[in-house]
Amino acid sequence: MGNERRHARRIAVKVDTTGTKGRVGREEGVQGYFVKTYDLSRGGLFMKTDKRYKVGQRVEISIFLSPNESPAKIKGRVAWIASKKKHPSRYPGVGLEISHVEKNDKKRISAFMHKRAKGMKEAKELKNMYLQLKEMAARLVDLEEKHADATHFKTAIKSAIAEIDNVAHLLDREAVEVKSL
């Protein structure tokens, strides 16, 4: 599995997924299961699962993009299998190459991915703002220590630090919320 084989940008997600393993359609040997999908692109996805697969095996899955909507149905084939040695953080799991998605589900997946990507960008910006505010607070503490005798100055700095901390914590919480979009 290498990035050179990917044709589309992947989005980090954690969504519930159900699927059927084995031959699909009218063929026998199909088993149902419930797993998590951990990343998604227009061309593929990665599922954490302890189910055994073979490269090339056809799979049908349903991805729950929202609790208020029916799942998006995807047909694909196993493109690679995570090994404990080569992919310890992904083991056990499989990478699927998407072969078919209905037009409406394709639109829903695309909208979900766009919203998620936008949320990640906003979360990074909020995190940077949080870090900048914490740095400002540290500089104010340094100023306070240099002017220990200036009571009024010290009071103003403590007030500014408290306000910066409040805003910084709000930004940090907001970043966590935005990431979960």
pLDDT band at 12 (very low <50, low <70, confident <90, very high): low
Q: What is the mean pLDDT of residues 105-119?
A: 80
Backbone phi and psi for residue 163, each to the nearest 5 degrees, phi listed first: -65, -45
Q: What is the DSSP string of 105-122?
A: HHHHHHHHHHHHHHHHHH
78, 44 contact by CB (below 8 A): no
Instruction: Using the predicted structure, report yes or no on whether residue 173 has a pLDDT greater than 70.
Output: no
Q: What is the pTM of this model?
A: 0.54
> Where does the chain have alpha helices with state H?
103-146, 151-179
Topology given in CATH for the domain delimited by 3-101:
Thrombin, subunit H (2.40.10)
- What's the pLDDT score for residue 167? 72
CA dist., res. 147 & res. 159, Å (int): 15
21, 33 contact by CB (below 8 A): yes
Q: Which amino acid is at 55?
A: V
Bridge partners of 12, per DSSP, are 39
Instruction: Using the predicted structure, report yes or no on whether residue 87 has a pLDDT greater than 80.
Output: no
The H or E element spanning position 53 is: none
Q: What is the mean pLDDT of residues 138-145?
A: 79
- What's the pLDDT score for residue 26? 41
pLDDT band at 79 (very low <50, low <70, confident <90, very high): very high
Instruction: Using the predicted structure, report yes or no on whether residue 101 has a pLDDT greater than 80.
Output: yes
Measuring CA to CA, how many Å separate 25 from each of 16, 41, 84, 118, 124? 22, 24, 32, 37, 43
- What's the pLDDT score for residue 99? 92
- What's the pLDDT score for residue 6? 47
Q: What is the mean pLDDT of residues 140-158?
A: 76
CB-facing half-sphere around the CA of 174: CA atoms within 13 A? 16
pLDDT band at 181 (very low <50, low <70, confident <90, very high): very low
User: Domain segments of the chain: what residues?
Assistant: 3-101, 119-179
Tell me 4's DSSP state: G
pLDDT in tens, 20-74: 554 444 444 445 556 677 677 778 888 888 788 889 998 888 888 888 888 888 8
Kindly state the tokens that stand for 120: 């990640």
